[in-house]
Amino acid sequence: MQKQQSYIFVGRYGAGKGTQARLLMKVLEESGERKVLDMETGAGFRKFFQNPTYTAAICKKVVEQGLLMPVFMCVYIWGNILVEKFTGEEHLVFDGTPRKLLEAQMLEAVFPFYGIEKPWVIYLDVEHEESMKRLSLRAKESGRKDDGEEAIVRRRKAYEEDVIPTIEWYKTNPNVNFLDVDGERSIEEIHADIVKLVGLK
């Protein structure tokens, strides 16, 4: 049977992390050997926002303003998914997390705890200008408040202050397999590159 693997997608907002994560999950699922556990924190938060709680209301405002969620809330979301759904057999695909360095360091403890081999960290390298184009287009198509002009400006600041240090930490981390992937190509080209680099084809 294929070895259990974990994949972490990181990069700018609008870099295509969700798209590439879904395509990779499809390849993994088609092998039929193991199921895949989708660790997308964005979907987890959107579900959490529906709760009529004080905390959910604050979190929703944070996201709509284009700010990063505090680390404890991110860990709460993906930690619950692991505790409730992970059986030790599934491949894990993390999309949208981690962003801050502290969260990445906390996530790192997951793999030796579960006896999982070091994960693949897939960095989709996209420049700010390309990211803005994609987010603006997504805002028009979906109407998401967190893709508005002011939110995009805050996202860039958050990316530069918090996400870049996380990516730099991953680049030299011996406990992960780090891949720097050009994210400014077609979806198909990027997907084919990822599949080849992680040894699935």
Residue 10 belongs to what domain range?
6-197
Is residue 191 one of the residues assigned to a domain?
A: yes
In this structure, the strands spanning 91-95 and 6-11 are: parallel
Per residue of the chain (201 residues), give pLDDT as tens: 678 999 999 998 888 999 999 999 999 999 878 999 999 888 889 999 999 999 999 999 998 887 889 999 999 999 999 999 999 999 999 998 999 999 999 999 999 999 999 999 999 999 877 777 767 776 666 665 555 677 777 878 888 999 999 999 999 999 999 999 999 999 999 999 999 999 997
Q: How far apart are CA 166 and CA 60, in angstroms?
A: 24
Q: What is residue 149's predicted lDDT score, i.e. its pLDDT?
A: 72
Does residue 33 lie in a domain region? yes
What confidence score (pLDDT) does residue 1 get? 63
Are 6 and 39 spatial neighbours (Cβ–Cβ below 8 Å)?
no
| Residue 156 included in any domain | yes
Q: Is residue 155 part of a domain?
A: yes
Q: Is residue 1, in this structure, part of any structural domain at all?
A: no
Please say whether the beta carbons of 181 and 121 come within 8 A.
no
The CATH number that applies at residue 142 is: 3.40.50.300
The total domain count for the chain is 1
Q: Which residue has the tokens 């805050």?
A: 154
User: Which parts of 96-156 are beta strand (E)?
Assistant: 120-125
Predicted pLDDT of residue 139: 65
Q: Give the per-residue pLDDT at 53.
A: 96
Crossing angle of helices 41-48 and 54-64, rounded to 10°? 130
In a domain, 131, yes or no: yes
Q: Which helix (H) or strand (E) holds 169?
A: helix 164-171
